[in-house]
């Protein structure tokens, strides 16, 4: 065995929301052992979600995205190693090897490496094909706002649509290409999908559904257009690819840990190797609200909660009750908020008129409210979240009455 270069009682791989929260919670709960965060990025731990929202709109700057001031880490004796990637893990010896060759020994390993933007192989090596996952990505796109004339966004999920709204506001001619038959198909229902398709169209975007991209056209190594399967070429001086996230789990898979869509973990966040935990976007677990299915939740609230739960497990504290998963998205002047997990619903009820720009959709499974989507409706979100928490069984007609407060449907006691 090679000589150990560094030891950490808790080694955290990844400085995103979940990794940082694990460190914050450990110190807040009185953990006195050594903590080291190893991150592949060049910046101290910072928020990612605003990159396609407030940051790209210049409503927040880079310093404002930082979780903590630089002095916090030293004051709380948390070592942060930047521009370092862990490439292999040995559960038996409790060691992890970095790309630099540094060998880290750990008491507990918390895998918080998140994921990377899914590649579009046909675009490899072509300048002007972009994604937004880290600060450098957002900076590159921001630097070109106002200069871009024709932009094609490939992918009609949250990342693509949020960036599309900023690009459209900057004056670019915009085409959104979605391979499925509706936008946001993996995360919401047809009424909400249709609303957002119309929203983007009303702002001048050309939204194409069932669109099959055949090739990225280029001129002198730079993108010039996107060719569809029917032969049409859409002009583009930039292409933004937002087709999902691939969990960064290869070192754990290579080490023999159970990996499916991410790293399989139990309710504590513990992997199939007792001393190794996983948190955030790369953790795949059965949620109290997923009706027995394994889910990988990509959201700030879930990242924060998973960090707290793993800190509790490391400290030997009782398992805390799980909160309802929730998510949000900002596009133009519209705020979408979701509480719960809609997968597997067998009934839905629309509250209000989508055309009004303020409405909600409630999802039920066997009569139980399992999730709500709310568009510009903060009251329904807060009260709908309480319905999901209570696993409420409600009357369909009352649930569909937009003038009735959802608070009246929350079970008492």
What are the pLDDT digits (tens) for 202-220? 999 999 999 999 999 999 9
Nearest 5°: phi and psi at 11? -105, 120
Ordered by where they begin, the domains of the chain are 6-116+246-315 (3.50.50.60), 119-243 (3.50.50.60), 333-409 (3.30.390.30)
Beta bridge partners of 365: 368
From CA 409, how far away is CA 43, in angstroms rounded?
A: 46
From CA 327, how far away is CA 192, in angstroms rounded?
A: 14
From CA 277, how far away is CA 297, in angstroms rounded?
A: 16
Task: Over range 291-297, report the average pLDDT.
Answer: 95
Q: What is the distance of C-alpha 388 from the center of its chain?
A: 21
Say if residues 252 and 263 touch (Cβ distance below 8 Å): yes
The number of beta carbons lying within 10 Å of the beta carbon of residue 28 is 12
- Listing DSSP states for 344-407 in one string gives T-SEEEEES-GGGT-EEEEEEETTEEEEEEEES-HHHHHHHHHHHHHT-B--HHHHT-TTS-GG
Q: Give me the residue label for tokens 């257009």.
A: 225
Say if residues 339 and 324 touch (Cβ distance below 8 Å): yes
The number of beta carbons lying within 10 Å of the beta carbon of residue 96 is 26
pLDDT per position as a tens digit, 25-83 = 999 999 999 999 999 999 999 999 899 889 988 899 999 999 999 999 999 999 999 99
The dihedral built from the CA positions of residue 135, 139, 145 and 147, taken in this order, carries a sign that is negative
Host H or E run for residue 239: strand 238-241
Query: 328 is written with which tokens?
Result: 């949000």
**3-state class of 305 per DSSP?**
helix
Q: Is the pLDDT of residue 1 over 60?
A: no
Task: Over range 362-373, report the average pLDDT.
Answer: 97
- Torsion, Cα 340 346 351 356, to 10 degrees, reads 90
From CA 86, how far away is CA 83, in angstroms rounded?
A: 10
pLDDT per position as a tens digit, 309-347 = 999 999 999 998 999 999 999 999 999 999 999 999 999
State the Cα angle at 174 between 230 and 329, rounded to 5°: 115
Strand order in the sheet with 259-260: 259-260, 262-264, 283-286, 294-295
Q: What is the mean pLDDT of the chain?
A: 95
Say if residues 297 and 11 touch (Cβ distance below 8 Å): no
From CA 131, how far away is CA 120, in angstroms rounded?
A: 10
pLDDT per position as a tens digit, 68-118 = 999 999 999 999 999 999 999 999 999 999 999 999 999 999 999 999 999
Which residues have C-beta within 8 Å of that of residue 383, sequence separation ≥ 6? 405, 406, 407, 410
Say if residues 265 and 153 touch (Cβ distance below 8 Å): no
């Amino acid at each position: 065995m090679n000589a150990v270069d560094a030891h950490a009682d808790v080694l955290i791989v990844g400085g995103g929301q979940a990794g940082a929260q694990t460190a914050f919670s450990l110190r807040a709960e009185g953990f006195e052992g050594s903590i080291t965060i190893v991150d592949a990025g060049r910046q101290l731990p910072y928020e990612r979600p605003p990159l396609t929202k407030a940051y790209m709109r210049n409503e927040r700057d880079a310093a404002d995205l930082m979780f903590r001031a630089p002095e916090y880490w030293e004051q709380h004796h948390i070592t942060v190693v930047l521009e370092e990637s862990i490439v292999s893990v040995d559960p038996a010896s409790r060691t992890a090897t970095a790309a630099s060759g540094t060998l880290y020994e750990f008491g507990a390993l918390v895998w918080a490496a998140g994921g990377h933007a899914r590649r579009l192989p046909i675009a490899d090596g072509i300048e002007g094909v972009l994604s937004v996952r880290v600060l450098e990505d957002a900076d590159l796109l921001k630097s070109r706002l106002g200069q871009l004339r024709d932009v094609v966004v490939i992918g009609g999920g949250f990342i693509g649509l949020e960036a599309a709204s900023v690009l459209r506001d900057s004056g670019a001619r915009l085409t959104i290409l979605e391979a499925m038959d509706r936008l946001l198909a993996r995360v919401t229902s047809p009424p909400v999908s249709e609303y957002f398709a119309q929203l983007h169209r009303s702002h001048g975007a050309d939204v194409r559904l069932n669109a099959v991209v055949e090739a990225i056209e280029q001129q002198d190594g730079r993108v010039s257009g996107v060719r569809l399967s029917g032969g049409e070429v859409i002009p583009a001086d930039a292409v933004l690819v937002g087709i999902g996230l691939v969990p960064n789990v290869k070192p754990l898979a290579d080490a023999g840990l159970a990996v499916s869509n991410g790293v399989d973990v139990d309710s504590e966040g513990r992997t199939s190797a007792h001393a190794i935990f996983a948190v955030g976007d790369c953790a795949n677990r059965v949620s109290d609200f997923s009706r027995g299915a394994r889910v990988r939740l990509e959201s700030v609230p879930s990242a924060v909660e998973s960090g707290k739960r793993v800190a509790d497990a490391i400290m030997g504290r009782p398992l805390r009750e799980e909160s309802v998963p929730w998510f949000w998205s900002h596009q133009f002047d519209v705020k979408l908020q979701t509480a719960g997990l809609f997968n597997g619903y067998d009934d839905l009820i629309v509250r209000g008129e989508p055309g009004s720009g303020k409405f909600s959709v409630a999802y039920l499974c066997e009569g139980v409210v399992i999730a709500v989507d709310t568009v510009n409706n903060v009251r329904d979100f807060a009260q709908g979240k309480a319905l999901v928490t209570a696993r409420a069984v409600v009357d369909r007609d009352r649930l569909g009455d937009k003038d009735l407060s959802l608070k009246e449907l929350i079970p008492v006691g």
